[in-house]
Amino acid sequence: MKNMKNSLRIAALVLLGWAFFAVANADQNTVRQAMAKSMPSVKIDSIKPSVINGLYEVTVGTNIIYVSDNGKYILQGHLIDVEARRDLTEEMLGAARIQAIEKIGQDNMIVFKPKTSKYKVFVFTDIDCGYCQKLHSEIDRYLAEGITIQYLFFPRAGKGSDSYNKAVSVWCSKDRNAALTSAKKGNVPPPKTCDNPVDEHMQLGAEFDVKGTPMIVTEKGNIYPGYLPAQQLSEALASEKAQK
C-alpha cells in the first residue's frame, strides 16, 4: 500500500512537471510569435523565463529585453536583485558579450601576452585615439601585471577613414604587433590590403555600443570604458576573479 502511494506521488509530480513544461513552452512560443509579428527583422537568440513570474528574458545578439508572457509588453532596462545587490541583466549581458567575442576568435585579434598570464582583457582600440596610444605606450606595465591584451579595431571615424585604413594596413603587415606599436607612436604604416577582420571588429563594437576608445572588456564580459592604468586594471580584474 505504501509503495502504491509513493508511486502515485511520483506520477503526480511527473505530470505536474510536464504540465509546467508545456505551459512554459506555450508562453515562449507566444512571445516568439508576438515578436516575429511586431519586429520581424529582429533575430531572437534565446527566450527563457526571468526571475519574475510572467516575464520572459529575450536575448537578441548582445542585448537583452524583457517581454510579458502574452507578448503584449516589452521592458528595456536592468533587472536588479535588491537583496543580493546583483545586476542580473548585466550578468547576462556579460555572458552574451563573451560569447560574441569568442565567435571572432583570438586568431582574429592582435594579442600581447606576458610570460605568465593571470588575466585576459579585450580592448577596442583606435590607432589615432590619444588615450589608446597612452594605453599602448604602457603595454609593458600591463604585461608586468600578468594581463594579456587582446586588441580589436574600432576606428571611430568609420570605414574608409584614415584610421580605418591604418588598421587594415597594420593587420596586413608581416609583424602585426610591431606594426601596431609603430602606428600607435604616430608612424603611418605602409598601405597594405588583405583579408582582415576590421569590419567584424567594428560591427561587434557597434553591438556593444562602444561610445569611445579604448573600451576594455573583461573575461566575464564586464566593461570599463576609457583608459585604466595597469595597476588599477589589475586590481579590478583581481576583484572580479574573486567574485563567485
Residue 141 belongs to domain with CATH number: 3.40.30.10
Look at residues 163, 189, 160 and name the one whose alpha carbon lies nearest to residue 174. Answer: 189
Active site residue 132: yes
Give dist(CA 200, CA 36) in Å, integer: 26
Domain finish residue from 29, 60, 77: 77
Give counts: helices (H), strands (E), the chain.
Answer: 8, 11
User: What total number of domains does the chain contain?
Assistant: 2
Bridge partner list, 59: 46, 64
Res. 2: pLDDT tops 80: no
With a cut of 50, say whether residue 16 has pLDDT above it. Answer: no
- The catalytically annotated residue of 27, 69, 97, 132 is 132
Residue 84 belongs to some domain of the structure: no
Asked if the model's pLDDT at residue 184 lies above 90, the reply is yes
> Within a domain: residue 199?
yes
**In the predicted model, is pLDDT for residue 14 greater than 80?**
no
Selected catalytic residue, list 27, 97, 128, 129: 129
Residue 199 is a catalytic residue: no
Q: Of the listed 27, 128, 156, 172, which one is catalytic?
A: 156
> Which letter does DSSP use for residue 189 in this model?
P
Range of the domain at 68: 2-77
Same domain membership, residue 72 and residue 114? no
The whole-angstrom separation of Cα 216 and Cα 91 is 16
Whole-prediction pTM: 0.78
C-alpha cell of 68? 510579458
Last residue within a domain, chosen from 77, 92, 117:
77
pLDDT score at 7: 47
With respect to residue 93, please indicate whether it lies within any of the assigned structural domains: no
Confidence check: pLDDT of 81 > 60: yes
Residue of 27, 126, 128, 172 marked catalytic: 126
In a domain, 92, yes or no: no
